[in-house]
Amino acid sequence: MEKSGNRKSINEFGKFGLVNHLTRDVKPSNKSTITGVGDDSAVIDSGKDLTLVTTDLLLEGIHFNLIYTPLKHLGYKSVIRAISDIYAMNGTPGQVMIALGISSKFSLVQIEDLYEGIKLACTKYNVDLAGGDITSSITGMTIGVTAVGTVEKNNMVKRNGARANDLICVTGDFGAAFMGLQLLEREKKLFIREKVTQPDLSGFEYVVGRQLKPEIPVSTLSELKNKEIFPTSMIDVTDGLASDLLHICRLSDTGCRIFYSKVPIDYETSRVAGEFDIDPMTPALNGGEDYEFLFTIPLEMIETIKTIESVKVIGHMTTSGSGCFIVGDDGSEVEISAMGWKE
């Protein structure tokens, strides 16, 4: 096997040396982090709040492709993915733990890049990197992220609290990350087939950015709190708007009606969808990885919710057994399915 200087230096560190090296500048900033990296387990003082814990596993070739995913972005996104689930419970993330499987094909510089992204997301969202594990892998890279957060007992929002007539609200817009992925896949094929090394992604910054470096709309969540809007149910949209809405309906035992023309789609998403000859509503409903929030609120909050510009009301909940439908501009109703919505 070929040996490079960088590859050799990872081996020289050894596991604990590598952990120490990568986390040498990590200092806990949250009061609840009693002990972070360096002991057998992280110690979190949860006091009278509820502690939330969630974990995500990302596998090379399944969840990410290193041909077009810079490692710094991958590290960033892996943290976003985990802490998004804490925010979806109306909680605040405090700590993440990273479990990493790496093969010898990676250099120290590459793993440092990955950690740079991890630490950047931690700093931005005020989360402490509180521990983890690193082991060697023969099947590519594996990233496991566990996020820990807290929520006051009375403030937790689950998926099962929606009631008939509640308004269905969303933050942001949908389908962009999926169209970004289609563009990156197209460039990858050009690279493999025609050895085009300079990807042409100009004019597509929004959709590619939504795929590679998603952000969580935390300011909108704070605005909800400030205006005393308490969701009856909430989920982060990672599987696709349709599928995540159906989760809420199933767990809350409700039906729903959402309106075709109300689903927010960015202009660039529509333009790229047009290039690929697909209806932009398809990625908007089924694309996933939007990292936006879908939540329900009581009907009487309608005037208050209209004052938050980054939130759109896309429909309402209906009684149990009345089905889940998307309503077209002409009034036609099409059943929403997790497999996708078809005209």
Give me the residues that bind Mg ion (CB under 5 A), please.
Answer: 85, 236
User: Angle 110-116-117 (CA atoms, 0-180°, nearest 5)?
Assistant: 100
Least distance from C-beta 60 to Mg ion, angstroms?
A: 22
Burial, 135: exposed, middle or buried (Cβ in 10 Å; 0-12, 13-18, 19+)?
exposed
In terms of CB distance, is 33 or 78 closer to Mg ion? 78
In terms of CB distance, is 268 or 290 closer to Mg ion? 290
In terms of CB distance, is 175 or 280 closer to Mg ion? 175
CA atoms within 13 A on the CB side of 291: 21
Least distance from C-beta 162 to Mg ion, angstroms?
A: 16
In terms of CB distance, is 54 or 270 closer to Mg ion? 54
Least distance from C-beta 85 to Mg ion, angstroms?
A: 4
In terms of CB distance, is 211 or 243 closer to Mg ion? 243
Least distance from C-beta 161 to Mg ion, angstroms?
A: 16
Tokens describing residue 14: 């050894």
Q: Are strands 233-237 and 311-318 parallel, antiparallel or unpaired?
A: unpaired
In terms of CB distance, is 190 or 218 closer to Mg ion? 218
Q: Are 145 and 78 in contact (CB under 8 A)?
A: yes
Least distance from C-beta 235 to Mg ion, angstroms?
A: 6
Least distance from C-beta 158 to Mg ion, angstroms?
A: 12
Q: How far apart are the first and last CA of the chain?
A: 54
* Dihedral in degrees, nearest 10, Cα atoms 319, 325, 327, 331: -70
Least distance from C-beta 88 to Mg ion, angstroms?
A: 5
In terms of CB distance, is 85 or 266 closer to Mg ion? 85
Which residues, listed in sequence order, are joined to residue 163 by a DSSP beta bridge? Answer: none
* Rounded Cα–Cα distance for residues 54 and 224 (Å): 23
φ, ψ (nearest 5 deg) of residue 272: -65, -40
User: Angle 23-289-28 (CA atoms, 0-180°, nearest 5)?
Assistant: 20
